[in-house]
Amino acid sequence: MIIISPSVLAADFSVLGAELDKVAKAGAQYIHLDVMDGIFVPNISFGPPVISSLRKKSEVVFDVHLMITDPIRYIDDYVKAGADIITIHYESCENPLEVVRYIRSKGVSPCVSIKPETPPEVLFDMMNELDMVLVMTVEPGFGGQKMIPEMVAKVRVLRDHIEKNGLSVNIEVDGGITPENAPQVIDAGANVIVAGSAIFRADDPKAVIEKIKALG
């Protein structure tokens, strides 16, 4: 099954609650919330107060992507704010597995992301403790970029490893995903699709979501 996780970076922040409601009604199962600190990535977005406010207005799965340095400092805050999934970056801390285990201990689903330059093999040793891995298909930090085609091969490597080891791990892709290039990443093994502009700025978000879901 293909899961759609629209990125709120492409939403209209002046009516963010209504924007979430719009894509949830259009068929999105997750909402992708990109948290950026201006240090790990060269941009700043929002933090726990915004997520907590949105949680009161939505029952959709909150897919919280922490693009921040030393994320273990803030896990409790995002758990309290209402995160269902917390993604950290492999590159953001010295011991990603420690953070993964802490997230799990809080009753939240853990995920680890890798940047475009990071080889997928770094995730192999911790894969059995993850619910999801995230392959960044652009350099993290800004919305509206074009997907880097070479990232499709990473998805295939991870899916092969998951299947060979009998694991049940979702593969998420994030960055420049559209209905036109989604078949490439889905064919490679991705099943959680983050799309921002392609959904939030579409004339008919439901049609876009249904088109991508039909690829699964």
C-alpha 137 chain-centroid distance:
11
CATH number for the domain that contains residue 176? 3.20.20.70
Helix-then-strand count for the chain, H and E? 8, 8
Asked if 76 is an active-site residue, the reply is no
pLDDT tens digits for range 144-176: 689 999 999 999 999 999 999 999 999 999 999
pTM (predicted TM-score):
0.96
The residue segments making up the domain with residue 198 are 3-213
Cβ(63)–Cβ(78) below 8 Å: no
Check whether 108 has a pLDDT greater than 70. Answer: yes
Q: In the 8-state DSSP scheme, what is residue 90?
A: G
* Catalytic residue of the set 21, 34, 37, 84: 34
Check whether 143 has a pLDDT greater than 70. Answer: no
Two tokens, residue 33:
């919330």
Amino acid identity at 187: D
In total, how many domains does the chain have?
A: 1
Cβ(122)–Cβ(97) below 8 Å: no
* Catalytic residue of the set 174, 187, 203, 204: 174
